[in-house]
Amino acid sequence: MSRGTRVPLSRAQKRTIAGGSIGTLMEYFDYYLYGLASATVFPAVFFSDNDPFVAQLSSFATFAVGFLLRPIGGLVFGHIGDRLGRKVTLLVTVIGMGITTAAIGLIPPDAMIGVAAPLLLLFLRMLQGLFVGGEMGGAATMVVEHAPPGRRGLYGAFLISGAGIANVASAGMMAGLGLGPDSFFMTWGWRIPFVFALVLAIIAILLRRQLEESEEFTRHTQAIAIGQVKRSAPLVEVLRHPKNALLGILIGLPQSIAGYVVLTFGLSFMVSEGTAAQVGFIGTMIVGALQIVVAPSYGALSDRIGRRTVYIAGCIGFAVLVWPTFLLYDTGNAWLIWLGMIVGFVIPGVAMQGTLQTMLTEMFDVEQRTTGVNIGYQLSNTLGGGLAPLIATALVGWASGEIWPVVVYVAVICTVGAIATAAATFRIGTDAAEPARDLHPEHA
């Protein structure tokens, strides 16, 4: 088939994209929502007895702790996905995400139940991380395996369009509810979006019940059944190629911190400088709306010029643009702040996010793919994104309010990610622009 010839999507492919994207939407809705709340609400609701700076650090610490169980969730649900099928994993994770996120919205404040409030927040945040840990590997594997050659980048990027919808939904709900009296928002208003996660979970279940396993996974399962291929533990298979397992973690670091530095920490930075939180909520909505369209554009571009090229360009762009982003934040002007969010995240961050999951999927064979993607994606998010707001807050506090240490931190992470991307090899062909290398013998 020529590159210019496009076959319409089948019903199964449409269901797969929708089923995968709704889970990614939930993942990012839960995490962006928690990030917004941890920057603006949780310090006053769950850490009200502390100094404001300590309360903010404590709130971001719970944000970071949620990432600690993501690698464990990635291993557990990656194993299930590679053994029992991607569909089983995707159903379990989305149910778990919906229940734990809704439960966070029902925790009484510390003024009512004392220290039990932050402890419950911490416990539920860790459970949330466990279920989220199994989401991206299963969704990315399912979607990319259903994509025709030459369009895997586009298909994989639709998952990040789901993340854009999550941005719009989470920030939009917080912004809309924040228009009312502050007493209502801080007491009940912020809780409504968290409970709404149950509605998203029900929609996701209805979509994912109809998913079908890919032909590649089905053939592999049949080969095991008749003894053509020996069954082995997915984690063992991943560790037989330790280079890609390690590089997958390093590659994911820059994209993992992009949103949490520019949007989550950025929001607390704005508020500390006197900007209304509402400005940040609206800006996050704008970013999300653009992300819906921009992510597939980057994915399609990666099908033409190679995912490695697009991702490294995103790393360089983020390192260069983070400084002007915070200069725009420092103006206090809403329009310039929104421009800063676009400059700092939509341009470089979405370039990385729109290509990462497809690139990770192509670095592993079918029998270990979900586990391999989860290891790279979840460990990079734990080491990078989970700690990013906490590290950035601490760096700014250490530098007496100056932002330059955050810029240096971002530049170092981006350099590591770019070098790792340049060193990666692929188990299957990535696209016409970048042929397959380091093929497994059964694929040669």
The residues, any chain, with a CB within 8 Å of residue 298's CB and separated by 6 or more, are: 157, 310, 350, 351, 354, 355
Sign (positive/negative) of CA torsion 239, 349, 321, 297?
positive
Which band of pLDDT confidence, cut at 50, 70 and 90, is reported for residue 233? low
Please state, as a whole number, how many other Cβ atoms lie within 10 Å of the Cβ of residue 232.
Answer: 12
Residue 36, strand partner residues: none
Which residues in 57-89 are b (16+ Cβ under 10 Å) and which e? bbbbbbbbbbbbbbbbbbbbbbbbbbbebbbbb
pLDDT digits (tens, 9 = 90+) for 33-60: 888 898 889 999 999 888 888 898 898 8
Alpha carbons 270 and 289: distance in angstroms, whole number:
21
pLDDT digits (tens, 9 = 90+) for 7-21: 566 666 677 777 767
For position 125, what pLDDT does the model report?
A: 92
Residue 431, strand partner residues: 434
Q: What is the mean pLDDT of residues 150-170?
A: 86
Alpha carbons 165 and 159: distance in angstroms, whole number:
10
pLDDT digits (tens, 9 = 90+) for 280-295: 889 988 998 999 999 9
The tokens for 149 are 């050659």
Residue type at 413 in one-letter notation: I
Which band of pLDDT confidence, cut at 50, 70 and 90, is reported for residue 1? very low
Q: What is the mean pLDDT of residues 181-195?
A: 91
Residue 434, strand partner residues: 431
Which band of pLDDT confidence, cut at 50, 70 and 90, is reported for residue 155? confident
* Average pLDDT across the chain, whole number: 84
Half-sphere exposure of 199 (CA within 13 A, CB side): 7
The residues, any chain, with a CB within 8 Å of residue 330's CB and separated by 6 or more, are: 273, 403
pLDDT greater at residue 103 or residue 11: 103
Which band of pLDDT confidence, cut at 50, 70 and 90, is reported for residue 151? confident
Residue length of the chain: 444
For position 9, what pLDDT does the model report?
A: 63
For position 387, what pLDDT does the model report?
A: 85
CA-wise closest residue to 337 among 390, 258, 284, 400: 284
Please state, as a whole number, how many other Cβ atoms lie within 10 Å of the Cβ of residue 432.
Answer: 13
In the chain the domains, ranked by start, together with CATH numbers, are 11-443 (1.20.1250.20)
For position 47, what pLDDT does the model report?
A: 92
Q: Considering the entire predicted model, what is its pTM?
A: 0.78
Residue type at 158 in one-letter notation: F
The tokens for 347 are 């341009």
Give the phi and the psi of residue 6 in degrees, each rounded to 5.
-120, 125
Which band of pLDDT confidence, cut at 50, 70 and 90, is reported for residue 419? very high
Alpha carbons 424 and 414: distance in angstroms, whole number:
15
The answer on pLDDT for 230 being more than 70 is: no
Which band of pLDDT confidence, cut at 50, 70 and 90, is reported for residue 441? very low
CA 235 vs CA 127, 137, 164, 229, 420: distances in Å: 22, 13, 31, 17, 21
Q: What is the mean pLDDT of residues 265-293?
A: 89
Alpha carbons 374 and 354: distance in angstroms, whole number:
16
Which band of pLDDT confidence, cut at 50, 70 and 90, is reported for residue 427? low
Is the separation of the CB atoms in 88 and 144 below 8 Å? no
Is the separation of the CB atoms in 371 and 81 below 8 Å? yes
The answer on pLDDT for 3 being more than 50 is: no
Which band of pLDDT confidence, cut at 50, 70 and 90, is reported for residue 229? low
CA 192 vs CA 27, 196, 221, 264: distances in Å: 17, 6, 43, 20
For position 78, what pLDDT does the model report?
A: 77
